[in-house]
Amino acid sequence: MKTTLAIFRLIVMRAIASIYIEGITSNIELKTTKKEFRGHITLVLFPLVKIIKKPLKQIGKEIGEYVKKHLIIVHSFHLLNGFLNFECSEEYYFKLLKKISKEILFLKSSEEDSLMIEYSSPNTNKPLHLGHIRNHLLGNSISEIFKAFGHNVIKIQIINDRGIHICKSMLAWKKFSSGETPEITFKGDHLIGKYYVAFEKAYKKEVEDLCAKGYEKELAEKQAPIMQEVRKLLLLWEKRNVKTWYHWRNMNSWAYEGIEQTYCSLGIYFDDTQYESKTYLLGKSIIEDGLKKGVFYKKEDGSVWVDFTNVGLDEKLLLRSDGTSVYITQDLGTAVERFELYSIKSLIYIVGEEQEYHFKVLFLILKYMRYAWADRLFHLSYGLVQLLSGKMKSREGIIIDADNLIDEMHKLAQFLTYQKENTLGIGALKYFLLKIDTKKRILYHTKSSIDFNGNTGPYIQYTNARISSLYRKAFTKMYWRNSMIRYYRYSIIGRYEKYLLKYMEQYTEALLLAKKCLIPSIIANYAYNLSKTFNDFYQNVCIINIKNKYDFVFRLFLSKKCGNCLKKTMNLLGIEMPEYV
RNA sequence: GGUCGCGUAGCUUAGUUGGAUAGAGCAUUUGACUUCUAAUCAGAAGGGUGCUGGUUCGACUCCAGCCGUGAUCACCA
C-alpha cells in the first residue's frame, strides 16, 4: 500500500506532465502540512517556477485543479505564500484510521538480514555508572529498532575481565579486606569497586611518599611497591597460576552477579557474552596474514605496524616488539571471529566518542585486508556523560552510580505516586538519556533531579494510562459494544482528530529515519509529540462523555490506536507503559 | 599543532534531502479540576540560531574563514 505522500507525488507528476512538460521528478517537493496551516499535504511551488517558467499563482491553481479533479481524496486546495496545501475528505480520514490500525503500526518485516550489535563493555573491577547506562539504552534501542523492521539482531557484550585494572582490585582486596565478601546489602560489583578505589588511594600515597624522598614523579609511579606487586600479579595471571586464577574467578563472579542485577533493573539483556580473557589472544594470525599480504610492516625491533599516513592518519602499532598484542589486535581477531561464527551481514559497535579514531583505524585495516564485510561495520559513537566538575572518574570514586541512581528515581516516583513498580522512575531516567541526540554530550547536574513533568518519560506514560482508563470506562457505558466499531465512519471529524491522525501517519517515517541515522532520540521526540497531540485532543474534545454514538466510537477507536502507537514507540526505547498511573 | 564533533531563549533541547511566522519543556507569570486520570490543558513573556562573509528566489541547515568548547592523535585499554 502506498503512502499518502507517494500517492500525491504520482498525481502531481501526472499533473505537470499533462499541463506543462514531461519528465519532471526531482523538483517535486511534497511534505505533510505544518500544524499551523490548514491542509494535509503541501506542495512547495518555488522549485517548479524555475522549470515551468510561469507565474507561481497560475501554476498553483492549475496543479491544484488537476489534483482535485483526479484524486478523489482531495477535498479542496488553497495557495499560501508559494505553498499549495491540499485538504483531504472525511472519507480519507476514516480510511487512514483503518490503515493505521491495520498496516502502519505493523511494519512490513521485509528485512531479514542478521546483524550483530555490540554494546556495554563492563569491567569487572567496578560497578556500572551513568555513562554505561547511556550505552546500554542506546544499544538496546538500536537493537529494538532493527528488530521492528524484521532484522535478526544478535545483542552481544564483551566483558573486560582481565588486565592490570582487574588485578588492582584483586590485590587491594587481598591486602586490605580481611576477607570481606558480598552481602545482600552490599553488591559484589560495589565491593570490588571499593577495593579498586582503595588501590588507587594507596598507590597515590606511595607515589607521594617517594616524591617526598626526592624521586622524580615518573620514576616514583613505576617504583611504587604496590604497583610492582600488581604487575607481578598480572604476570602470575598470564601464567595461569592456580591460586591467582582461583582468586580471579571468585572475585569476577561477584562482579557478574552485581552487574547482572543492574542489567535486570534496567531491563537489559544479551543474546551472547564474550570475555576478554578468552579473546585477548585472538588476532595474531591476522597480523601474520597482513604481513604476508604486505598490508603491515615489521620494524627492526620486531614490532608490527600499519602505515596510514597516506590517508591522513598516523602509523599504528599492531603488535608489540615482544610479540604481545594490543587493544586493536584483539579487536581485529574478534571481528573476524564474529563474522566466521555467526551468519551476520553487518556489525554495529556502540562505543563512546573517545574511541572514534580506534574504530576508524580498525575498519580501515579490515578493508585493506579485503574482508568483504569490512564496509558493513559501523561505530555508533555517542557523547560522554559528564558532571559539572568534568569527567566521571571511577578510580577516584567520582561517579554517578547506576544502582544508586535507579534507586533514587524509584523513591522519587514513589513519592509522587503510590506505585510499587519502578516503571515511572526508570521511564524518566531512560527517556532523559534517550531524548538527546546521540552525538551530543550530556551534562548531568547532580543537584537538580530528573524531571517528571513536561518533555519526559512519565508524561508519555501518563498519556497512555489516560487512554487505558478511557477504554476501561467505555465498557461501563450502556451503549458500548465491540461490534460498534464499524459505526465510526459516521462520525464528524474535527481538527484535533485530524492532527492526531496526521501525526500517527508519520510513524513509519520516524522509524525509518531513526534506523537510517542510528538515532533513538528521533523516536523519543516522535513519542513526545504524539503524546502532546493526544493530550491536546483529550483536553479539548469529549471522548466518552457524549451522546452521539458515532463520535463516541470514532474518538475511542482513535484514542486506542494512539495508545498502541505510543506503546510501540516507547517499547523501542525500552520504556514500559503502565496501564495505570 | 593535525583530525573529528558540538555551539539554537536564563537552563535542557527540536528542527535529517535548504522552504511558511525557528518548535517544545523547565523556571517566571495569568487562568482552568461538581465533567473521560490537573504528572494535564489554554494563554503571556522570553530566542532570530557563536561571529564574519559567500552560494541561493529562500540558509539554523550548504561553503569558506574566525571564536568558544569537547574528544582524539600511546609498545594504555
Which amino acid would we find at residue A92?
Y
Q: Is the C-beta atom of A525 closer than 7 angstroms to strand B? A: yes
C-alpha cell recorded at residue A335: 571481528
- pLDDT over 90 (residue A484): no
DSSP assignment string, A480-500: --GGGGGGGGGS---HHHHHH
- Which nucleotide is closest, CA of A328 to its C1'? B77
> Which chain A residues 447-476 have CB under 7 A to strand B?
451-456, 458-459, 462, 465-466, 468-470, 473
Q: Which residues pair with A436 in a beta bridge?
A: none
> Which chain A residues 136-165 have CB under 7 A to strand B?
160, 163-164
A236 near A244, Cβ under 8 Å?
yes
The pLDDT, as a whole number, for residue A488 is 67
- Which nucleotide is closest, CA of A470 to its C1'? B36
pLDDT tier, A504 (very low <50, low <70, confident <90, very high otherwise): very high
- pLDDT over 60 (residue A354): yes
* Domain covering A457-572, topology: Isoleucyl-tRNA Synthetase; Domain 1 (1.10.730)
- Which nucleotide is closest, CA of A533 to its C1'? B41
> Which chain A residues 423-442 have CB under 7 A to strand B?
424, 435-437, 439-442
In terms of Cβ atoms closer than 10 Å to its own Cβ (0-12, 13-18, 19+), residue A221 is middle
Mean pLDDT computed over A61-82: 94
- pLDDT over 80 (residue A533): yes
Q: Is the C-beta atom of A222 closer than 7 angstroms to strand B? A: no
User: In chain A, where does the domain assigned CATH 3.30.1360.70 lie?
Assistant: 4-88
> pLDDT higher for A21 or A66?
A66
- Which nucleotide is closest, CA of A31 to its C1'? B19
DSSP assignment string, A16-75: HHHHS-S---TT-EEEEPPTTSS-SEEEE-HHHHHHH-S-HHHHHHHHHHHHHHH-TTEE
- pLDDT over 70 (residue A492): yes
In chain A, the percentage of residues whose pLDDT exceeds 90 is 75
C-alpha cell recorded at residue A286: 591476522
C-alpha cell recorded at residue A154: 544478535
> Which chain A residues 345-364 have CB under 7 A to strand B?
353-358
- pLDDT over 90 (residue A448): no
Backbone angles phi, psi at A34, to 5 degrees: -65, 155
Q: Is the C-beta atom of A541 closer than 7 angstroms to strand B? A: yes
The pLDDT, as a whole number, for residue A26 is 78
pLDDT tier, A502 (very low <50, low <70, confident <90, very high otherwise): very high
Nearest to A380 by CA among A366, A402, A359: A359
Nucleotides of B under 7 A from a protein CB: 2-6, 12-17, 19-21, 24-27, 35-42, 57-58, 70-77
Q: Is the C-beta atom of A6 closer than 7 angstroms to strand B? A: no
Q: Is the C-beta atom of A548 closer than 7 angstroms to strand B? A: no
**Residues 6 or more apart in contact with residue A449 via CB below 8 angstroms:** A408, A412
Q: Is the C-beta atom of A307 closer than 7 angstroms to strand B? A: no
- Which nucleotide is closest, CA of A354 to its C1'? B71
The pLDDT, as a whole number, for residue A64 is 96
Mean pLDDT computed over A70-82: 93
pLDDT tier, A478 (very low <50, low <70, confident <90, very high otherwise): low
Alpha carbon distance A152, A147 (integer Å): 6
Q: Which of the following CATH numbers is that of domain A4-88: 3.30.1360.70, 1.10.520.10, 2.60.450.10, 3.20.190.10?
A: 3.30.1360.70
- Which nucleotide is closest, CA of A80 to its C1'? B20
Backbone angles phi, psi at A505, to 5 degrees: -60, -25
Alpha carbon distance A82, A57 (integer Å): 8
DSSP-assigned letter for residue A391:
S
- pLDDT over 80 (residue A439): yes
Q: Is the C-beta atom of A102 closer than 7 angstroms to strand B? A: no
Mean pLDDT computed over A494-512: 94
Mean pLDDT computed over A82-102: 93
- pLDDT over 80 (residue A496): yes
The pLDDT, as a whole number, for residue A564 is 96
- pLDDT over 80 (residue A420): no
CA A36 to C1' B23 (Å) is 11
The pLDDT, as a whole number, for residue A178 is 84
Mean pLDDT computed over A398-408: 93
In chain A, the percentage of residues whose pLDDT exceeds 70 is 97
ipTM: 0.95
- Which nucleotide is closest, CA of A556 to its C1'? B36
The pLDDT, as a whole number, for residue A481 is 64
Q: Is the C-beta atom of A417 closer than 7 angstroms to strand B? A: yes
pLDDT tier, A485 (very low <50, low <70, confident <90, very high otherwise): low
Q: Is the C-beta atom of A538 closer than 7 angstroms to strand B? A: yes
Sheet strands side by side (includes A297-298): A297-298, A304-307, A315-319
A578 near A465, Cβ under 8 Å?
yes
The pLDDT tens digits of the residues spanning A254-294 come to: 999 999 999 999 999 999 999 999 998 899 999 999 999 99
A434 near A456, Cβ under 8 Å?
no
**Quick one: which residue's CA is nearest to B69's C1'?**
A441
The pLDDT tens digits of the residues spanning A198-230 come to: 999 999 999 999 999 999 888 899 899 999 999
User: In chain A, where does the domain assigned CATH 1.10.730.10 lie?
Assistant: 457-572
- Which nucleotide is closest, CA of A28 to its C1'? B17
The pLDDT, as a whole number, for residue A461 is 96
Alpha carbon distance A54, A60 (integer Å): 10
> Which chain A residues 47-76 have CB under 7 A to strand B?
47, 50
Please give the mean pLDDT across all residues of chain A.
92
The pLDDT, as a whole number, for residue A75 is 93
The pLDDT tens digits of the residues spanning A546-569 come to: 888 888 889 999 999 999 999 999
Mean pLDDT computed over A409-419: 84
The pLDDT, as a whole number, for residue A415 is 84
Which amino acid would we find at residue A203?
Y
- pLDDT over 70 (residue A331): yes
A107-111, A456-460, A490-494: which is most confident: A456-460
Q: Is the C-beta atom of A238 closer than 7 angstroms to strand B? A: no
Nearest to A499 by CA among A103, A96, A73, A105: A96
- Which nucleotide is closest, CA of A329 to its C1'? B77
Mean pLDDT computed over A511-540: 96
Q: Is the C-beta atom of A35 closer than 7 angstroms to strand B? A: no
A106-115 burial: b if 16+ Cβ within 10 Å, else e: ebeeeeeeeb
Q: Is the C-beta atom of A252 closer than 7 angstroms to strand B? A: no
Nearest to A155 by CA among A180, A119, A130, A193: A119
CA A408 to C1' B27 (Å) is 23
The pLDDT tens digits of the residues spanning A115-156 come to: 999 999 899 999 999 999 999 999 999 999 999 999 999 999
The pLDDT, as a whole number, for residue A483 is 63
CA A277 to C1' B65 (Å) is 50
CA A242 to C1' B11 (Å) is 56
